[in-house]
């Protein structure tokens, strides 16, 4: 008897509303390792995939923000658990995608998982840290409450295939937003793996939607989409980012453009997609 | 015969066979050939893949808007809700006067008078469901009174339900007589006969019920009430459109079709328009002969219309809810 068996090759698909569809357009594109060898065929998303993803994110948002902060924290922590048990696979893909040594890739995965835990902790602290009771000159209680912007589009970092991605999507999600993300064009596989893990860690369908594809083709659709409330331009620079900011302005989106000072411990991104509502409440007798 | 008639040859003189007895009706209906279920489903699925773009899509959206029977059939309906529905029916997008009005508003009989007074003499019809909607399980007298009151209150169109219990147990004469009696009570009002195809089980039954309704005098045949699990589907619409075509060819009387229930987005509406065009031809592509019974469809049509104009996806809350 022969030991040979047929290859079981993986199809890297989109993540929309908790399901893994191929692109509506039927397209896929070739992704290579950092050294230029064939790595995988990945679904090449289209405008209609983004439309579906935004509709799913919008439908999921009220329920996600309506669940308790404690519960959201548990869900994100569960993602960290899932990632921990699949860290070897993640590290392999980070190494292939970013051209890192195995050791460096593992360190990158560890940092990414630690970030998940960090964001899991933030869910029930956002209101404490960024909200508060305001002193006012009158017989009122005055509270400022951070609430999510709504549906946030993320153009994921092109280089940091896992660490960057985790930051970019979990910051808005932990604040109660739902996310549609265009994954790194050349290095999408670690983010696709992470997307698969969200489905096994109690993320409600639609909270995180991942569309892989050509950034320049997809990004304008999200920037102009009027049902998107904010956009993180991590994966685009220079004129392209300026163009997208201008497009986003037409529908009054919050635009977040990362800069050099955004280190692992700043909360700039966490605060980027929060709307503060202030409540005046009379003091009773 | 013009090119876009797709071979529907309608005789000049109307010769609807008179139905004298239940036996004669039964003979007429059983003589109809059976429906090729696999073929009907494949044909409907194939037509559903056709893609309509750009200016054709815009024209189709406007046509679909003009074919909508804007419907509210909830226990919680109020005059206020009907008022806003009427306002929306007249001017679906108040910012854009090029958007056509819808064909009709469809309400329960007790709200007909209110809808009529809000719409005044605007070119939007008031349709009312009647005859113990949605089950159709009441005595004939109750049903006729229901219709009579709706017409007296100003309804231009009556959507009646057939008694599926009677139809399924073979009491075809009873169903026929009911439709004929309701038609008579309608007077000037147009009669749409709801077959509730989700409860008819087979395509053969759909074809027979369509013929029965048309023989008894229906001006429209309508798929569903929207109140059961299975609503309008494209194969069922295909079977009904074929029945309408065959009926027109044999008798010379042109009957309309209304699809209702579960049609929520522009894509669905486009599928039905293609189906109409390919089955009975462009003669039927008018609000006089084809309607969509829907509530949420209108907003999606308006969203798609705006998207075509702006080039960007728009927010659902650009348009009022109900």
pLDDT tens digits for range B111-164 = 999 999 999 999 999 999 999 999 989 999 999 999 999 999 999 999 999 999
What top-level class would CATH report for the domain B23-309?
alpha beta
Query: B311 at the A interface (CB within 8 A)?
Result: yes
Query: A170 or B317: whose pLDDT is higher?
Result: A170
Enumerate residues 6+ apart whose C-beta is below 8 A from A258.
Answer: A232, A233, A234, A268, A269
Structure tokens at A233: 């331009």
**B312/A58 CB distance under 8 A:** no
Task: Report the alpha-carbon distance of residue A122 to residue B36 in Å, rounded.
Answer: 61
Q: Which of A19-33, A155-169, B15-29, B88-102 has the lowest mean pLDDT?
A: B15-29
Asked if A30 is an interface residue toward chain B (Cβ–Cβ < 8 A), one would say no
Tell me if residue B222 is catalytic: yes
Active-site pick, B69, B159, B219, B246: B159
In chain B, whose CA is at the least distance from the CA of A229?
Answer: B315
Consecutive H or E run containing A194 = helix A189-199
Per-residue pLDDT at B41 exceeds 50: yes
Three-point CA angle B210, B214, B220, nearest 5°: 85
The H-or-E segment that residue B160 falls in is strand B157-161
pLDDT over 60 at B6, yes or no:
no
Tokens of A216: 């320049």
According to DSSP, residue B316 is labeled G
CB atoms within 10 A of CB B121: 6
Domain definitions of chain B by residue range: 23-309
Reported as a single tens digit per residue, the pLDDT across B259-287 is 999 899 999 999 999 999 999 999 999 99
Chain A residues with beta carbon closer than 8 angstroms to that of B318: 226
User: Region B206-225: what's the mean pLDDT?
Assistant: 96
Q: What percent of chain B has pLDDT over 90?
A: 85
Mean pLDDT of B58-82: 95
Quote the DSSP letter at residue A222.
H
The confidence band for B2, taking pLDDT boundaries of 50, 70 and 90, is very low
Going by C-alpha positions, the residue among B306, B317, B297, B318 that lies closest to residue B65 is B297
- pLDDT higher than threshold 90 for residue B171: yes
Angle at A214 between CA A212 and CA A217, to 5 degrees: 120
Given a contact cutoff of 8 angstroms between Cβ atoms, the answer to whether A32 and A202 are in contact is no
Give the model's pLDDT for residue B321.
81
Residue of B88, B183, B258, B271 marked catalytic: B258
Q: What is the pTM of this model?
A: 0.87
Closest chain B C-alpha to A226 CA, distance in angstroms? 5
- CA dihedral B278→B283→B284→B289, nearest 10 degrees, is -170
Residues whose CB is less than 8 angstroms from the CB of residue B208 and which lie 6 or more positions away in sequence, other chains included: B29, B30, B32
Region for residue A79 given its phi and psi (left: phi exceeds 0; alpha: psi -120 to 50; beta: otherwise)? alpha
Enumerate residue ranges in chain A where pLDDT < 50. Answer: none
Q: How many residues does chain A have?
A: 285
Whose tokens are 């790194």? That residue is A184
Establish whether this prediction's ipTM goes over 0.85. Answer: no
Strands A140-148 and A274-282: antiparallel
pLDDT digits (tens, 9 = 90+) for A136-182: 999 999 999 999 999 999 999 999 999 999 999 999 999 999 999 99
| Catalytic annotation present for B159 | yes
CA distance B161 to B273: 24
pLDDT score, position B174: 95
- Residue B316 with chain A: CB contacts under 8 Å: 58, 227
Contact status of A54 with chain B (Cβ, < 8 Å): yes
Confidence band of B212 (pLDDT split at 50, 70, 90): very high
Task: Identify the pLDDT of residue B322.
Answer: 66
CA distance A194 to chain B (A): 28
pLDDT at site B11:
84
Cis peptide before B134 (omega within 30 of 0): yes
Looking at the complex, report in whole angstroms how far the Cα of residue B318 sits from the nearest Cα belonging to chain A.
10
Say whether A54 and B312 touch across the interface (CB within 8 A).
no
Residue A48 CB contacts under 8 Å (≥ 6 apart), including other chains: A24, A25
Does B249 lie at the interface with A, CB-CB under 8 angstroms? no
State how far the Cα of B130 lies from the Cα of B103, in Å rounded to an integer. 19
Taking residues B84-91, report their average pLDDT: 95
Nearest-Cα residue of chain A relative to residue B310: A224
Domains, chain A, ordered by start: 28-282 (3.40.605.10)
Return the residue matching tokens 């065929």: A41
């Amino acid at each position: 008897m022969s030991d040979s068996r047929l290859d079981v090759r993986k199809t890297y698909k989109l993540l929309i509303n908790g399901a893994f569809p191929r692109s509506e357009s039927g397209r896929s594109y070739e992704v290579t390792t950092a050294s230029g060898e064939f790595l995988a065929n990945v679904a090449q998303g289209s405008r209609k995939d983004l439309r579906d993803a935004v509709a799913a994110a919008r439908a999921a948002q009220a329920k996600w923000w309506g669940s308790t902060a404690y519960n959201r924290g548990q869900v994100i922590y569960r993602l960290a658990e899932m990632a921990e048990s699949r860290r070897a696979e993640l590290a392999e893909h980070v190494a292939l995608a970013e051209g890192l040594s195995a050791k460096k890739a593992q360190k990158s995965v560890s940092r990414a998982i630690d970030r998940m835990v960090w964001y899991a902790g933030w869910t029930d602290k956002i209101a404490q840290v960024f909200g508060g009771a305001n002193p006012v000159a009158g017989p009122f209680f005055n509270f400022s409450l951070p609430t999510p912007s709504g549906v946030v589009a993320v153009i994921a970092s092109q280089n940091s295939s896992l660490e960057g991605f985790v930051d970019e999507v979990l910051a808005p999600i932990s604040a109660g937003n739902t996310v549609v993300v265009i994954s790194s064009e050349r290095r999408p596989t670690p983010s696709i793996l992470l997307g698969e893990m969200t489905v096994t860690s109690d993320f409600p369908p639609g909270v995180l939607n991942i569309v892989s594809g050509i950034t320049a083709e997809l990004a304008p659709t999200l920037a102009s989409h009027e049902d998107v409330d904010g956009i993180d331009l991590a994966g685009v620079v220079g004129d392209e980012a300026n163009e997208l900011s201008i497009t986003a302005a037409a529908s009054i989106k919050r635009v977040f453009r990362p800069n050099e000072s955004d280190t692992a411990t700043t909360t700039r991104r966490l605060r980027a997609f929060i709307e503060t509502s202030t409540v005046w409440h009379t003091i009773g007798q | 015969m013009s090119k876009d008639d797709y071979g529907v040859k309608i005789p000049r003189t109307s010769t609807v066979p008179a139905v004298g007895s239940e036996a004669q009706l039964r003979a007429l209906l059983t003589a109809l050939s059976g429906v090729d279920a696999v073929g009907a489903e494949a044909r409907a699925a194939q037509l559903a893949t056709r893609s309509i773009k750009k200016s054709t899509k815009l024209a189709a959206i406007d046509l679909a808007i003009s074919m909508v029977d804007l419907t509210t059939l909830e226990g919680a309906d109020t005059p206020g809700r009907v008022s806003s529905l009427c306002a929306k029916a007249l001017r679906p997008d108040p910012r854009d006067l090029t958007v056509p009005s819808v064909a009709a508003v469809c309400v329960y009989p007790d709200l007909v008078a209110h809808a009529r007074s809000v719409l005044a003499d605007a070119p939007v019809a008031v349709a009312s469901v009647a005859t113990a909607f949605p089950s159709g399980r009441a005595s004939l007298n109750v049903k006729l009174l229901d219709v009579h009151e709706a017409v007296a209150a100003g309804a231009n169109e009556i959507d009646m339900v057939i008694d599926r219990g009677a139809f399924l147990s073979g009491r075809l004469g009873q169903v026929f007589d009911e439709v004929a009696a309701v038609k008579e009570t309608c007077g000037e009002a147009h009669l749409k006969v709801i077959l509730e195809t989700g409860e008819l089980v087979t395509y053969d039954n759909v074809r027979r019920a369509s013929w029965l309704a048309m023989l008894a005098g229906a001006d429209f045949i309508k798929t569903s009430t929207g109140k059961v699990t299975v609503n309008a589907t494209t194969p069922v619409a295909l079977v009904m459109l074929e029945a309408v075509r065959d009926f027109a060819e044999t008798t010379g009387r042109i009957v309309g079709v209304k699809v209702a229930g579960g049609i929520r987005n522009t894509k669905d509406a486009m599928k039905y328009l293609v189906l109409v065009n390919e089955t009975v031809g462009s003669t039927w592509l008018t609000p006089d002969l084809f309607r969509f019974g829907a509530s949420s469809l209108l907003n999606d049509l308006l969203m798609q219309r705006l998207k075509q104009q702006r080039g960007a996806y728009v927010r659902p809350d650009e348009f009022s809810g109900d």
